[in-house]
Amino acid sequence: MLACISNRCACNIHLFNYEEALIDADIILQHWNVMKEEQKETQANINMRLKTLLRKAVAMSWKGDIERSLEILAKGLSEDVEALTANGMLQQFESAR
């Protein structure tokens, strides 16, 4: 179910429905907060949380709240550096610079 909401969040961003995208992102992050620790540690859930934080930051920036967007990115990246390294996303970000 969370994967569907995550995909809807991405679709809402592409459709310029930033408020709806933020609502979807918050739903996913609320579910993340009540997950059991062993569920949080699965690679799929780590990736979903990271994607959700990135999507939330994109929606915030498109709404014009750049400062909040940067806060979300900083929080997400600082908490998920291990996940980024493990799945190769960190190398993708560094090569894009």
pLDDT score of 47:
84
Per-residue confidence at 80, pLDDT binned at 50, 70, 90? low
Residues of the domain holding 21 = 2-96
Are the beta carbons of 35 and 13 closer than 8 angstroms? no
pLDDT score of 2:
87
CA distances from 84 to 18, 24, 28, 66 (A): 25, 22, 19, 23
Q: Which amino acid is at 31?
A: H
pLDDT in tens, 10-68: 999 999 999 999 999 999 999 988 888 888 778 788 888 889 999 999 999 999 999 99
- Token pair for 55: 């999507």
- State yes or no: pLDDT of 92 exceeds 60: no
Instruction: Tell me how many domains the chain contains.
Output: 1
pLDDT score of 73:
85
